[in-house]
Amino acid sequence: MNMQDIETRGLVVLGCGKMGSAMLQGWLAGGVPAGSVWVVDPKPAAQIVESGVHVNAELPASPAIVVVAVKPQMMDEALPGFEAMGGGRTLFLSVAAGTSLSFYEERLGAGTPIIRAMPNTPAAVGKGITAIIGNAAAGPAHLDLAEALMQAVGQVVRLEREDQMDAVTGLSGSGPAYVFHLIEAMAAAGEEQGLPAPLAMQLARATVAGAGALAESSQEGPGQLRINVTSPKGTTEAALRVLMDPQSGFGPLLRRAVAAAADRSRELGK
């Protein structure tokens, strides 16, 4: 199975909200013909309708792939009608958080190739990172196709076990919110030190974005980058003594935060 199969047999997107739209725009920009894409969504955005894809039209009987991008609570309402596509010829790629491979196998059949993917919201600007894991029926060609599709919105990593998806959810799936809150907190701290609110926010936003870009592009690891900007007995060192405190610092706080998100992911998956 490859991208040529999508052109000849079709790609179905079930649910086209923010994540589905981001992926769709990436695929179309990457060369997937609009005429090979079917979107099923009760309230499609105007740009989806205008893109030339089939919207809420009759679906191909055996598409190459069905991308399930509806919210988990809508799954029981959205999936009926797709059972006939189960059994082997069609790959199902799910980006629905907390929805297990076994959930799909119960509804589509154990012989259906199914891949779970956990992207994150920077996918909207092509800067996402997605973890994928397949069931027993998903072979190397299925995983290669899923990876190629998800690379349209950023980086892709493959997991060894499905239970690792909960940790991925806690780290990168929910992680953008932690960074957004970091920006908020830095801006508020800048205000407290006497900066006007708009200036504090501009400085905080640019600092986090710039540091992230540097961390991703540098040959040095983040630990070394931190050392590079920490002069002995300087201002950064004074701040890091607070942030790196083994009891009350950033490290133990983030461990608790990621664990709470991963634990909640495990609860939702039951």
Residue 267 pLDDT exceeds 90: no
Strands 128-134 and 114-118 come out as antiparallel
Q: Given this model, what pLDDT does residue 184 score?
A: 98
User: In CATH, what is the architecture of 175-268?
Assistant: Orthogonal Bundle (1.10)
Name the pTM for this structure: 0.90
Residue spans per domain, the chain: 3-165, 175-268
Residue 192 pLDDT exceeds 90: yes
Q: Given this model, what pLDDT does residue 129 score?
A: 96
pLDDT digits (tens, 9 = 90+) for 8-67: 999 999 999 888 998 998 899 888 999 999 999 999 899 999 999 999 999 999 999 999
Strands 37-40 and 54-55 come out as parallel
Task: Summarize the confidence of residues 68-95 as an average pLDDT.
Answer: 90
Task: Summarize the confidence of residues 95-117 as an average pLDDT.
Answer: 92
Q: Given this model, what pLDDT does residue 222 score?
A: 97
Task: Supply the Cα-derived Rg of the chain in whole angstroms.
Answer: 21
pLDDT digits (tens, 9 = 90+) for 133-150: 999 999 999 999 999 999
Most confident of 14-18, 122-126, 249-253: 249-253
Q: Given this model, what pLDDT does residue 90 score?
A: 95
The phi and psi torsions of 132 (rounded to 5 degrees) equal: -130, 150
Strands 91-94 and 128-134 come out as unpaired
Regarding the domain delimited by 3-165, which CATH topology (the fold level of the hierarchy) does it fall under?
Rossmann fold (3.40.50)
Residue 89 pLDDT exceeds 80: yes
Task: Summarize the confidence of residues 99-103 as an average pLDDT.
Answer: 92
Q: Given this model, what pLDDT does residue 124 score?
A: 85
CA dihedral sign, ordered 159, 161, 167, 173? positive
